[in-house]
Amino acid sequence: MTRKKTSLAIVAGLSCALALSACGKKEPAKKDPAAQARAVSVVRLEPRAISGALSASGTLRPREEAAVAAEVTGFRVLRVNADVGDTVRAGQVLVQLDPALLEAQIAQAEAQAAQADDQAKRVADLDGTGVLAQEQIAQRRFQAQAARANLRDLKTRLAKLAVAAPVSGVILERTVRPGDLSSGGGTPWFRLARDGRMELAADMAEDDLARIRVGQTATVTLPGGGQVQGTVRIVSPQIDTQTKLGQVRVLLPVRSDIRAGGFARAIFADASESALALPETAIRYDANGAAVMVVGADNRVKHVAVQTGQRGSGLVQIVKGPPAGARVVQNAASFLLDGDLVKPVEAAATAAQPAARAK
User: Does the pLDDT value for residue 1 go beyond 50?
Assistant: no
Radius of gyration, alpha carbons of the chain: 44
| Burial class (CB within 10 angstroms; exposed 0-12, middle 13-18, buried 19+) of 211 | middle
Q: How many residues can be counted in the chain? A: 359
Q: Which pLDDT tens digit goes with each residue over 24-83?
A: 555 555 556 666 788 999 999 999 877 666 889 999 999 999 999 999 999 999 999 999
Q: Return phi, psi of residue 113, to 5°.
A: -65, -40
Sign of CA dihedral 193, 198, 203, 209: negative
Q: Return phi, psi of residue 134, to 5°.
A: -60, -30
Region 10-17: what's the mean pLDDT?
A: 51
Within its chain, how far is the Cα of 47 from the centroid?
29
| pLDDT at position 282 | 93
Within its chain, how far is the Cα of 13 from the centroid?
93
pTM of the model: 0.61
Beta strand pairing call for 217-221 and 198-205 = unpaired
For residues 129 and 262, the model is more confident at 262
| pLDDT at position 268 | 85
